[in-house]
Amino acid sequence: MAERHRPNAPLRALLGEARWTGEDLARAVNAAGEEAGLSLHYQRPSVAQWLAGGVPRRPVPELIAEALSRRLRRVVTPAAAGFPAAPRPPGQDRSPPDGADRLARLTAAVAVRGRPPSVAYSALDPTLDPTLDQYVPEEGLDPAAAPGRSLSQAHVRALREMGGVFSRADHLSGAGRVRPALTRYLSTTVSAWLRAGAPPAVRRDLLAAAAPLVYLCGFAHFDDGLHGHAQRYYRLAASLADEAGDRVGRAVALRALSVQAHQLRYRRRAYQLAEAAVSEGRYAEPRTRAFLYGQLAVAQASLGERQDALRHLGTAADELGRGAGRPQPLIGAYHEASLAHQRAVVVGHLGDLPGAVAALRESLRHRSAQENRSRALTLARLAELQLASGAVDAACLTWRQFLLCQGQLSSHRADRALVLMRAHTAPHRTHPAVRALLGLLPGPGRTG
């Protein structure tokens, strides 16, 4: 850690305004770091060093600013928290960058190092400001050169075909086996094509075809617990769809941002984003409208808005019925299993445990074997609810099915479900079914 000689008065003032101790700030920074894929273990002595003028390595200043933003319910920048601004290389002073440039910067580190840098999730960003998504490429990295010839509809078809390939692999195997290859594809092929010369109609279609791939990359980061990056890919997908004049694509990206905010327990923000998604997608085909209304219902239920949540869940069911028989999009598909899962979340928020269990069972009946990760996560949640209702034997049987799916996945969410299984079953470790279940696990989960 580099040392400064002057105490950090702005940080001390913000800490006082937040009514936080140094330990409070350290815990909040550790939590924000977890969302960025970092395992941080800061404690009060580290905060004392920051207050004395110490400057932690990036992205910790950004995490400190984000933690204070959440506490104070307004945007706090690293500079406002007393930390020097990160250096900006030549060429980043123009604003805003276009979608191709943002995509190149977003994927640059992966193209060079094979892994993304750590990036903080922003809980309070009220806009989709593209300047927030700029990244500093590795030194010496030049973006991939654009093709010398003009692009055509063949390139558009190639993007759409690759979207289907990556989406199917993601459903079956989880993000861990898809995300690196998809990120590199975006970094090389897609960003180069977006910078290439093309007739206006072809460029518009290229942007519209690229947006779902960027959305899928956001989802892959979400599945791997890299929430800062997921948020930026989702925002970029919304911007690319906007450039293409594709309001439905923008709506789907806004919905994804809402799902992420809900998962991270930023419930009011999740509602705002879901409402914006429904507004943008009001002229979409019925299945997509169902996709959007279902998330709005979830967000409203999380706020305790029972009547509106149930009404919009009913709208989602009606729209899904109207869309029966129509072809599904390869990315962002919505069907009976999806609706039943959202019903489980809605009624669970509203306190109906038996209704949530029944809805999860229904979701599993409609879920195909190709959606292995979705089956695993649904089984894990069903087992948790069964255990909460006192059905220990039934929960253990469900968790056994979960383990069969989870063992085939590379997914942070599935791994997290396994951790929760250990935690939930710990108080019941002497129960025969629990002992047998934990005996299937290697390491600390095994009982003697």
Tens digit of each residue's pLDDT (9 = 90 or more) over 117-133:
677 888 876 555 544 45
Secondary structure of residue 88 in the 3-state scheme: coil
Most confident of 22-36, 122-136, 149-163, 339-353: 339-353
Q: Read off the tokens for 250.
A: 């923008």
Q: Please compute the mean of the pLDDT values over residues 106-111 and round it to a whole number.
A: 73
Any residues with CB less than 8 A from the CB of 158 and at least 6 apart, and which?
A: none
Segment holding 218, helix H or strand E: helix 200-223
Q: For residue 44, which phi and psi values (nearest 5 degrees)? A: -55, -40
Round the average pLDDT of the chain to a whole number and report it: 88
- Asked whether the CA dihedral 321, 323, 327, 329 is positive or negative, the reply is negative
127 vs 389, higher pLDDT:
389
| Type of residue found at 277 | A
- b/e per residue 114-139 (b: at least 16 CB within 10 A): eebbbbbbbbebeebebeebbbbbee
| Type of residue found at 150 | S
Residue of 315, 392, 369, 381 whose CA lies nearest to 345: 381
Q: Does the predicted TM-score (pTM) go above 0.95? A: no
Tens digit of each residue's pLDDT (9 = 90 or more) over 213-262:
999 999 999 999 999 999 999 999 999 999 999 999 999 999 999 999 99
Q: In the chain, where are the structural domains located? A: 9-72, 96-245, 265-370, 379-448
C-alpha span between 188 and 447 (Å, rounded): 49
The pLDDT value recorded for residue 37 is 74
Per-residue pLDDT band at 189 (split at 50, 70, 90):
very high
Tens digit of each residue's pLDDT (9 = 90 or more) over 334-374:
999 999 999 999 999 999 999 999 999 999 999 998 999 99
The pLDDT value recorded for residue 273 is 96
- Asked whether the CA dihedral 13, 16, 22, 27 is positive or negative, the reply is negative
C-alpha span between 277 and 136 (Å, rounded): 30
The pLDDT value recorded for residue 210 is 96
Per-residue pLDDT band at 113 (split at 50, 70, 90):
low
C-alpha span between 14 and 264 (Å, rounded): 24
The pLDDT value recorded for residue 105 is 81
Q: Please compute the mean of the pLDDT values over residues 155-181 and round it to a whole number.
A: 94
Classify residue 260 as exposed, middle or buried by CB count within 10 Å of its CB (0-12, 13-18, 19+): buried
Q: Is the pLDDT of residue 392 over 90?
A: yes
Residue of 143, 148, 236, 244 whose CA lies nearest to 202: 244
Q: Read off the tokens for 257.
A: 């941002």
Q: Please compute the mean of the pLDDT values over residues 19-48 and round it to a whole number.
A: 91
| Type of residue found at 368 | S
Classify residue 430 as exposed, middle or buried by CB count within 10 Å of its CB (0-12, 13-18, 19+): exposed
